[in-house]
Amino acid sequence: MTQKTINWIGLATLILALALVGNIFLTPNVQVPTADDIASKIVIDVPAVNGSVDNVKITAIYDELFKDDAKKDFAEALMADELDTRAFKRAVFDALVLENRSIEHYRDIDKFVVTDIDTTLFGVRDENATIIVTMKAYYILDGDDEETEKARLVVEFSISDLEEDDEYDDAEVSIYDINVPKIYD
CB 135 within 8 A of CB 114: yes
Chain-centroid distance of CA 140 in Å reads 32
pLDDT digits (tens, 9 = 90+) for 119-147: 888 776 677 888 999 999 999 987 777 88
Q: How do the domains of the chain map onto residue ranges?
A: 57-184
CB 118 within 8 A of CB 170: no
pLDDT of 134 reads 94
Residue 151's contacts (CB-CB under 8 Å, 6 or more residues apart) are: 96, 99, 101, 136, 137, 139, 180, 182, 183, 184
Confidence category of residue 53, pLDDT binned at 50, 70, 90: low
Mean model confidence pLDDT for the chain: 79
Amino acid at 24: I
pLDDT over 70 at 18, yes or no: no
Beta-carbon-side half-sphere exposure of residue 46 (alpha carbons within 13 Å): 3
d(CA 82, CA 157): 9
Confidence category of residue 87, pLDDT binned at 50, 70, 90: very high
